[in-house]
Every structure is written in structure tokens, then in C-alpha cells.
Amino acid sequence: MLVKNEKVKRVIILVLTAIILIITPPTHAETLARWQYDEFYDKFSDIVIDAWYVDDLIRANIREIMQGYPDGTMRPNANVTYGEFITMAVRNDGRPEAPEYSVLEAMRSLGLSSLDGHWAMRYAVIASGASYIDREWGWLDKLDMPITRVDAASVLSRVNMRGIPNYRYDNIDISLLKFSDADRLTETQKKDIQGLYYTGTFDGYPDGTFRPFNNITRAEAAKIILLIYGPNLGVNANGNRIFIGR
């Protein structure tokens, strides 16, 4: 009788385990296989083995959010440009395949007759049509310039507005903004940063500053882009916010 009960218990445990595996959705934080690390190290010559950014760059590369350079490098410590960051945001949002009519409509609103002139122009036009960027930022002339932390925050805040219920400017209390250098920001920029901090996507530095006009590396950009659609919204296993920045 005891043997039979033990068999029943084992069957129940197996069934419950199968149900959990079926209903648990996959996340970008799933454990990577050893072969994925080996393949990534072989593919890019400038990756430091076991560096803090490796997992994020592998996932960003697998999802085609971030690609390397023709010379076989990934350049994780190089500053990410406006064009690269906007492209990453659009790719992560699944918008590169936007209908042609919507791209043409966005081009007309920007007064553009062609997408020629820059590899990232199509992504920038799509981002503009999705209201991720505003023309007054002057992004047309900045695509090859390193993006600042505050402008990256502005892009991601607008991504959140489309993906998180009740994420609106009128729901963000900038009086809660804790950074000591926030007086250098406009009210809209303060709301962008506070909104991202609240969702755990973007944080400041241990000295209490945000350093809004500092730049972001490609490795840091991969981390925050993945966090935008991550299941834990930037909170690590210990319940602490992930520090992003140098």
C-alpha cells in the first residue's frame, strides 16, 4: 500500500511540474546555455569573458536588438549613439516591420522625401511616428553623436507610455525626484527620469546624482533596453534596483 501511495505521489508531482512549465512564460532572464556563451565569444573578439555585461549583450544579439560591427567587434564600452539607441528601442518593440504607409506618413510629417543619408534613418522615422522621439530634440543632426542619459530616458519613457497601463505624465510626481542635479532638467525631463526610476528601469549613481548629460555605453544600453520589457522591471533577485551607469 505504501509503495502504491509513493507512486501516486510521484505521478502527482510530475503532473504539477509539467503544468508549471507549461504556464510559466519565458523571459529574457532565462539561463543561457554554455554553447551560447562560446558562440558569442567566438563571434566577437573584444568581449571580456564573464564581464558584467555578457549576458545582456548575448540576449540583445540573439533578439537582433544589438548587432556587432563588420570588423568582428561588439565594442561594449563605446558610447552608444542616438541612431544606435533609437534603433535598439524600435527593434525591441518589434516595429522594424512597420507598414510602409505608416513610414511614409511619418516621413511626410517630418518633411523628408527619402530615407537615404543614414543607416538609422528608417528606425528614427518609425520612432518618430510612434512618438518615441520629438523633432525638436534635433535628432536628425545627432544620429552619429553619443546619446545622453537624459535623452535616452526620454526615449524609454515614451516606450513605457505605450506599454505600461496608467504610465502618463500626469501620474508622475516630480516632487519625489531624489537626484541632487535635477535642477538642470526641464519639467518633462524630470518626469521622464522619475517615471523610469519608479518602474526600476533607470537609476542614478551612489552619490545621489543622475548625471543627465553623461553618455551611455553600448553595454549599458543593452541592459536598459532589455529591462523595458523585462519581467522584473529592473529589480534584481534580492529586490534591489539594478545600478545602471559608470
Q: C-alpha distances in angstroms, 159 versus 59, 132, 176?
A: 20, 6, 22
Residue 20 lies in a domain: no
| pLDDT exceeds cutoff 60 at 238 | no
Residue 240 lies in a domain: no
What is the per-residue pLDDT across 87-122, written as a single tens digit (0 to 9) for each? 998 888 766 566 666 777 777 777 877 777 788 888
The residue count of the chain comes to: 246
Cα radius of gyration rounded to whole Å, the chain = 21
Q: Which has the minimum average pLDDT: 56-70, 160-174, 189-203, 213-227? A: 160-174
DSSP 56-119: HHHHHHHTTSS---TTS---TTSBPBHHHHHHHHHHHTT-TT--HHHHHHHHHHHT-S-STT-T
pTM above 0.85, yes or no: no
Residue 22 lies in a domain: no
Which of 128-137, 169-178, 212-221, 231-240 has the largest mean confidence? 212-221
Residue 104 lies in a domain: yes
Residue 13 lies in a domain: no
Domain that holds residue 113: 34-68+76-228
pLDDT band at 45 (very low <50, low <70, confident <90, very high): very high
Residue 203 lies in a domain: yes
How many domains does one find in the chain?
1
| pLDDT exceeds cutoff 80 at 50 | yes
Residue 94 lies in a domain: yes
pLDDT band at 240 (very low <50, low <70, confident <90, very high): very low
Rounded to the nearest integer, the mean pLDDT of the chain is 78
pLDDT band at 20 (very low <50, low <70, confident <90, very high): very low
In the numeric block, which cell numbers belong to residue 203?
537609476
Residue 176 lies in a domain: yes
In the numeric block, which cell numbers belong to residue 135?
523633432
Residues 6+ apart with CB under 8 A from 22: none
Higher pLDDT, 69 or 15: 69
